[in-house]
Amino acid sequence: MRTMKGFSIIVATDEERGIGKANRIPWNISGDMKHFKDITTATYADGCKNVVIMGRKTWESLPASFRPLPGRLNVVVSANLSYELPVGVMRCGSLQGAIDLYCGEREGSFGEVFVIGGAAVYAEAIKHICCKKIFRTVINGKFGCDTFFPEIPDYFRECTRSEIYKDKKLTYYFVELISDRISK
């Protein structure tokens, strides 16, 4: 029987669970960008790149100089079979397809798997039985977002919360939540 190793979600939200406005992230916090890079790049098995799965609109929202995200296998979810992507960036026709492919236990193939947004993809991912962890950055304040992270189900419980950090006028902190539905 093939086992699934599970995946994590990583997201930054404001106090209202807002994540984006006009297809961009309405804050620019270098400490959070470093946190995102460190968590999604860190590998635990030699030579295995982590996988970052994102919706097509999130891919398009990344500045050209940032994409593909280096050091990670970039996977873009799009139903458009002819959507063009650079060499080395993978397209999957559905989130489930990406999970089947990259969370299937194939020793030595891939490292950790992260779903990195946006709202459409988070909404499906958070309900998925293989979603084991959420790395959430909370930015204090309201940013008039038009795109939101879904309500977090009760079976996710907070396991760590950082101190409060400051970036110019903004304050933010990091929270990790783990799912009671998955054992590891």
Ligand X SMILES: NC(=O)c1ccc[n+]([C@@H]2O[C@H](COP(=O)([O-])OP(=O)(O)OC[C@H]3O[C@@H](n4cnc5c(N)ncnc54)[C@H](OP(=O)(O)O)[C@@H]3O)[C@@H](O)[C@H]2O)c1
Site for ligand X, rule CB under 6 A: 11-12, 19-20, 23-25, 54-58, 61, 77-80, 83, 93-95, 116-121, 124, 147
The strand pair at 7-14 and 165-167 is best described as unpaired
Q: How far apart are the first and last CA of the chain?
A: 18
Residue 106, SS3 per DSSP? coil
∠ CA 118-146-153, rounded to 5°: 55
* Closest approach of ligand X to the CB of residue 86, in Å: 16
Instruction: Between 45 and 140, name the residue whose CB sits nearer to ligand X.
Output: 140
Residues 6+ apart with CB under 8 A from 114: 7, 8, 9, 10, 39, 40, 50, 51, 52, 53
* Closest approach of ligand X to the CB of residue 136, in Å: 9
* Closest approach of ligand X to the CB of residue 83, in Å: 6
Residue 157's closest CA among 129, 135, 176? Answer: 176
* Closest approach of ligand X to the CB of residue 120, in Å: 3
